[in-house]
Structure 1
Amino acid sequence: MKTLQTERLTRAAFAPFGDVIELDGARHFAINGGTTERYHDLAEVDVTENGGRPLLSLFRAQPRTLPVEIAMMERHPLGSQAFVPLTTRRYLVVVAPAGEFDPAQMRAFWTDGWQGVNYGKGVWHHPLLALGQVSDFVVVDRGGEQPNCDEVSLAEPRRLVFEASLATAE
């Protein structure tokens, strides 16, 4: 089985696939009489194609057992999809560029736990890969009448290479 090495999630590394949602480096300013700090415009929500509308949901992800085998990928061709964790537990992200699926272009990232991701429209990604414990996420994606999820099975699954000690670090 081929392996897929994980790398640390950064804005620069993830830019071809969408946005990293994090406070570091974000535009921010005080609001509400100085009692709140607003971190502004953290991701491009792109969901209005063909009459789509934004949905706000909570996802509860069951933890995955290491090593993780990647056997399928999915994409949402009509809109972006953002995941914002409600805990500081690390999780894994596997992506491939939008367009025709090319397994040679797959990349895997590990998060610092508090980082969110916003997959761009049509970007291939694996479903949530929580580590260690059940993890909750706020999800912003597209609602509408048209089907908006394509799935592909990998002819040859990939095994994620990830240091197990990072899975439980918080």
Structure 2
Amino acid sequence: MDRLLSIEPLSAAAFAPFGEVIAAGAALQRFAINGGTTERLHALARARADDGDVVISLALAQARQFPFEISMLERHPKGSQAFIPLDQRPYIIVVASAPTHQPHAFLATQGEGINFRAGTWHHPLIALQDSSQFLIVDRDGPGNNCDEIALQPSWWLTGIDAG
């Protein structure tokens, strides 16, 4: 059975059950720093790590081919995980409140990043263009911090315009 996911634009309100949107428009606090030459958009997301360190990594992602099958989800129970695009390329985020619930698909554009809350079920990175670069902020430490589950039946993403 084919189950199709519709993709909605990424917004702070729609993504709130799963984490935070990292974008200028999502800033609740703004103030001047560096002698007034810089505006700080403060605390767009809160990185969390139980029992380990918060690390910063770089991901070089290749484009996915569409239609694209969503056949698994993963979660990181011991810490949050943020993806911040470095090259303004669009990408898709797929999240679910539980593996048995219908996933939500969001299209991130214009440099929007996201921060998954610890324990949020999500699909791995879905880049729409080759060599998309992402800054990753997540946990590194002892113990298992990645649970994966197969989805039966799968969901499908179709009709994507990679821009």
What TM-score does the superposition give when structure 2 sets the normalisation length?
A: 0.94
Partner residue, 1:83 = 83
State how far apart, in whole Å, the 1-side matches of 2:133 and 2:118 are: 23
Greater mean alpha carbon deviation, residues 28-37 or residues 79-88? 28-37
Partner residue, 2:8 = 7
Asked whether the 8 Å contact 1:6–1:161 carries over to 2, the reply is no
Give secondary structure in 1 for the equivalent of 2:84. strand
Q: CA RMSD in A?
A: 1.2
Asked whether the 8 Å contact 2:66–2:158 carries over to 1, the reply is no
Q: 1:161 Cα deviation (Å)?
A: 3.5
State how far apart, in whole Å, the 2-side matches of 1:158 and 1:109 are: 14
Give secondary structure in 1 for the equivalent of 2:13. helix
Give secondary structure in 1 for the equivalent of 2:35. helix
Q: 1:63 Cα deviation (Å)?
A: 0.8
List gaps (5 residues or longer) in structure 1. none
Q: 1:162 Cα deviation (Å)?
A: 4.0
State how far apart, in whole Å, the 1-side matches of 2:46 and 2:5 are: 28
Partner residue, 2:99 = 101
Higher helix share: 1
State how far apart, in whole Å, the 1-side matches of 2:26 and 2:92 are: 22
Partner residue, 1:116 = 113
- 1:127 partnered with 2:124: yes
Number of aligned residues? 161
The runs of at least 4 aligned residues of structure 1 exceeding 3 Å deviation read none
State how far apart, in whole Å, the 2-side matches of 1:68 and 1:5 are: 12
Q: 1:69 Cα deviation (Å)?
A: 1.2
List gaps (5 residues or longer) in structure 2. none
- 1:145 partnered with 2:146: no
What TM-score does the superposition give when structure 1 sets the normalisation length?
A: 0.90
Q: 1:25 Cα deviation (Å)?
A: 4.0
Matching residue's letter, 2:24: L
Q: 1:118 Cα deviation (Å)?
A: 0.3
Asked whether the 8 Å contact 1:28–1:40 carries over to 2, the reply is yes
Give secondary structure in 2 for the equivalent of 1:63. coil
The alignment-based identity, stated in percent, is 48
